[in-house]
């Protein structure tokens, strides 16, 4: 990504590259059933996002939208006098067994063809999930001793592509500290990013501390907790939203951002895409962040299928 003033600021990664703190997500509408963006939906969303100042765009092989997203960039970057170098593209590759390295190269080649190169690639999950590639291979159980070797096999390919200059930074998603620690003695490039579910019901203090102490950028997914009713009915959340004259959603985005945790809100509605950035104007105090941290439910407060803390 070309060095420049980026909306919301940037974080300098371990490898020297800068990543925007604020990005735009392109995940499926629902995790279990999926939902592929139409070209019109993607064009409309990307036009609103670029026009509003978003410069990081988050996707994944699992989302199956490389084609429509790259088409949107090709159409719309020139409209805003931007080039590929002005945006930051994050993608994720999942572990697919058997033939992990062959499958990884196939996925990376497809994404690189779509986006020219990848600013950041993440390992999507610390084990093979049958959901990601039904019918390709047997499910890996959480306690499988093969999980650790699988993670190293895929990471080895990511380093190969980094050495070739096809991807700039390597990171992980939904990894626990122990998963990262197991990799470190074997890899050339330590993970620069860890993208995890993060909101007041799932604050992950130990994970956050580990990332801070090791210079790993913590990026939140599911910042809005999928509009979980229990979270949105929390008295503290409502009280602070009233205090700052903002919405619950904007308060949740500010909760992560004010702790230097990256956010990647998603919407297909242009007005909401623009409006989501209002959280940048919320000067959430340290005292009020501490109030929200008291809502933490630990692992019982997660609202995605990700339960990586149970994975060997």
User: Which of 63, 125, 128, 210 is an active site residue?
Assistant: 63
3-state secondary structure the chain: CCCCCCCCCEEECCCCCEEECEEEECCCCCCCCCCCCCHHHHHHHHHHHHHHCCCEEECCHHHCCHHHHHHHHHHHCHHHCCCHHHCEEEEEECCCCCCHHHHHHHHHHHHHHHHCCEEEEEECCCCCCCCCCCCCCCCCCCCCCHHHHHHHHHHHHHHHHHHCCCEEEEEEECCCHHHHHHHHHHCCCCCCEEEEECECCECCHHHHHHHHHCCCEEEEECCCHHHCHHHHCCHHHHHHHHHCCCCHHHHHHHHHHCCCCEECCCCCCHHHHHHHHHHHHCCCCHHHHHHHHCCCCHHHHCCCCCCHHHCC
Is 128 known to be catalytic?
Answer: no
Q: Is 124 annotated as a binding residue?
A: yes
Q: Which residues are catalytic?
A: 63
* Binding site residue list for substrate: 124
* Binding site residue list: 124
């Amino acid at each position: 990504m070309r060095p420049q003033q980026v909306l919301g600021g940037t974080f300098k990664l371990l490898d020297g590259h800068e990543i925007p703190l604020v990005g735009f997500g392109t995940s499926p509408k629902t995790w279990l059933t999926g939902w592929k963006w139409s070209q019109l939906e993607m064009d409309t969303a990307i036009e609103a996002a670029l026009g509003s100042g978003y410069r990081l765009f988050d996707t994944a092989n699992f989302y199956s939208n490389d084609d429509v997203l790259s088409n949107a960039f090709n159409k719309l970057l020139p409209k805003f006098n931007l080039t590929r170098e002005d945006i930051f593209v994050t993608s994720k590759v999942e572990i697919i067994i058997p033939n992990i390295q062959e499958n990884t190269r196939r996925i990376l080649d497809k994404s690189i063809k779509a986006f020219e190169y990848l600013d950041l690639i993440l390992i999507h999950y610390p084990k093979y999930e049958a959901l990601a590639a039904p019918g390709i291979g047997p499910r890996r159980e959480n306690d499988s001793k093969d999980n650790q070797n699988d993670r190293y096999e895929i990471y080895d390919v990511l380093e190969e592509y980094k050495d070739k200059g096809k991807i700039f930074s390597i990171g992980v998603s939904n990894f626990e500290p122990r998963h990262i620690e197991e990799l470190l003695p074997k890899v050339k490039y330590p993970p620069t990013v860890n993208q995890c579910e993060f909101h007041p019901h799932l604050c992950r203090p130990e994970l956050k501390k580990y990332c801070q102490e090791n210079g790993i950028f913590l990026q939140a997914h599911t910042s809005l907790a999928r509009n979980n009713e229990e979270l949105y009915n929390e008295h503290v959340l409502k009280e602070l939203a009233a205090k700052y004259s903002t919405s619950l959603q904007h308060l949740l985005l500010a909760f992560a951002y004010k702790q230097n945790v990256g956010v990647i809100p998603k919407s297909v509605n242009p007005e909401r895409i623009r409006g989501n950035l209002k959280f940048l104007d919320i000067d959430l105090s340290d005292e009020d962040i501490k109030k929200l941290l008291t809502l933490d439910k630990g692992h019982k407060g997660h609202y995605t299928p990700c339960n990586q803390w149970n994975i060997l």
